[in-house]
Structure 1
Amino acid sequence: MRRTTTRRKSATRRKPRKKASFFSGKVRSYSIIGIFILLFLGVGYHYRDGFLYYLGFKSYKLKYEAAEAKRISDVRNYQVLENHQGKAIGLDVSEFQGKIDWTLVETIEENYPLEFVFIRATAGNDRVDGQFEKNWLGAKNREMIRGAYHYYRPNENSLEQAKLFIKTVQLKKGDLPPVLDIEKLPKGQSLDSLKIGLRRWLNAVEAHYKVKPIIYTGEKYYDDFLKEDFSDYLFWIANYNFYREKIGGDWLFWQFTEKASVTGIKGNVDVNIFNGDAEQLRFITVE
């Protein structure tokens, strides 16, 4: 029987691992972080305008653009006023103008006296303008010809809206006729239903004040929906476009801007032109 001998393998010596240097690891980490920081700063600098814009740090640019738009608007306002020498000029205001110092409200562009003002009284079937009473009294004390308007909400009961306006507004001799402000289309009802509602408001208000109301709306709304069916009423039309330089021949009033500045009123205010002079304006007031 052959004897089997097992050879022992000679043990191989492993080279001892070098200990990683603490400082070399730190340097590597800091280097990577430094590269990312430089990369981030580089990208940030390259796109600095975009970042600043979206973060709001370029408000000066926005202010400049707003100021430029206002300047252009002022130029147009002046040209329109120049084109209507002799016509009566007036405002329309609401609580959105805040508290008005009526003692300072005299002219626009320091050259055109303000003869009249329309004041928002009510909106819908439940909203009385928060500044109506103060504005109504302030305009009277200022001896401006005043008128009150109602902002009509198409999806609310027209007779309830008329009742609210009648309850809120007491017209006196020398005041302008009441105004119905219609700007929006109804939701969930037809145009015919809208027109029926408008007629009901107009009839109820006319029966109470014994004077035919005026209708306020935008020019497109007027052309598309009201001009034909409400031709028996006089209109106050809003149009701020640059192509429009003269009041329409069939318009009673023209609201030609919403970006005018008037002493005594903070922020922008609407300005209107009456299609006649101050004497003719008094002729259409309540007797």
Structure 2
Amino acid sequence: MAFFVAPFFYSENSASQDHKQTKKPKGNDRYPFGIDISEYQGIIDWVEVNDSYHDVRYVLMRSSMGVDGKDKFFERNWSYTKQLGFIRGAYHFYRPNEDAEAQFRNFVETVALEKGDLFPVLDVETPSRKGDKHLVEGVNKWLQLAEKHFGVKPILYTYKNFYNERLTGKVVGYPIWVAAYTEGTDLSMIDHVFHQYSDSERVSGIRTKVDANVFKDSVNTLENYCFK
């Protein structure tokens, strides 16, 4: 896609002034804003998140890790976000030194994706001890299993440099959620749909810093990446 720069970067200080704000700059219909979370964010007050200064449209949450890991707050987060009307998504943290097929089974046994949910997401950010060829084979295996099982193209999450160094041209045909935190970073060579632009956002209702994301297009287009 063309070089995309989110037009609404702002300092963390603005997020600390939730009670003083009357207009939310994030999450407009053109570039909807979202967060991704895991058990490291602790117990989240989702009602407060819903009412916060940030207009959070979608929430991506870790569900599973490797062949048997489960995020301890996934079920809670999954339930509350549905009740409050967030677009929700689940991601599996890929462990490249573990069996890809067993990892996929762990994901499907943990998550029940429904109408309106984002397509499944695979988080790939760790190199394999057996080398890049082994990494790529495993990632492609997981993605292919997900595509066959769910009937949609799963989303690949990774960092810009990791993608460029290890995955580009080797894992192809899937929507990309790319992490790149330097404002103005040229992402024109990565045809991505989501951009994680910060790992240190402050959102009311969440005690810790949280990852912040923008979708490259409109809310209506975002629905193309959700189950019908």
**Where on the TM-score scale, by shorter chain, does this alignment land: which range?**
0.7 to 0.9
Deviation sequence 1:103-155 (CA, Å, 0-9, x none):
111366x2x41110101000011101000000001110110000100000010
Higher relative contact order (CA 8 A, sep 6+): 2
The counterpart of 2:208, out of the listed 254, 267, 270, is 267
User: Gapped runs of 5+ residues in structure 1?
Assistant: 1-71
Give the counterpart of 1:164 among 103, 106, 116: 106
**After superposition, where does 1:100-115 map in structure 2 within 5 Å?**
100-106=44-50, 110=53, 112-115=54-57
Q: TM-score if structure 2 supplies the norm length?
A: 0.85
Tell me which residue corresponds to 1:88: 32
Among 53, 61, 67, the alignment partner of 1:119 is 61
> CA separation of 1:246/1:89 partners in 2, compared to 1, >3 Å: closer, same or farther?
farther
Equivalence for 1:216: 157
- Say whether the 8 Å CA contact 2:27–2:55 is kept in structure 1: no
Moved over 6 A (4+): 81-84, 245-249
The answer to whether structure 1 residue 175 and structure 2 residue 117 are counterparts is: yes
In 1, Cα distance between equivalents of 2:221 and 2:68: 35
Higher helix share: 1
Q: In the alignment, which residue of structure 1 is the partner of 2:41?
A: 97
1:61 maps to: none
The equivalent of 1:185 in structure 2 is 127
- Cα 1:271–1:248 change in 2 (3 A) is farther
Shift in Å, 1:174: 0.7
Find the counterpart in structure 2 of residue 19 from structure 1: none
> How many residue pairs end up in the alignment?
210
Query: In the aligned structure 1, how far is the partner of 2:190 from the partner of 2:56?
Result: 22
Match status 1:286 vs 2:227: yes
Structure index of larger Rg: 1
In 2, Cα distance between equivalents of 1:248 and 1:89: 22
In 2 relative to 1, CA 173–83 (structure 1 residues): closer, same or farther, beyond 3 Å?
closer
In 1, the alpha carbon distance for the partners of 2:202 and 2:26 equals 19
Contact 1:240–1:255, Cα closer than 8 Å, also in 2:
yes
Structure 2 runs not aligned, ≥5 long: 1-9, 16-23
CA RMSD of aligned residues (A): 2.4
C-alpha separation between the residues in 1 aligned to 2:55 and 2:50? 6
Whole-angstrom CA distance in 1 between matches of 2:107 and 2:27: 33
- Cα separation, 2, equivalents of 1:179 and 1:164: 13
CA distance, structure 2, for counterparts of residue 230 and residue 135 of structure 1: 30
Deviation at 1:196, TM superposition (A): 0.9
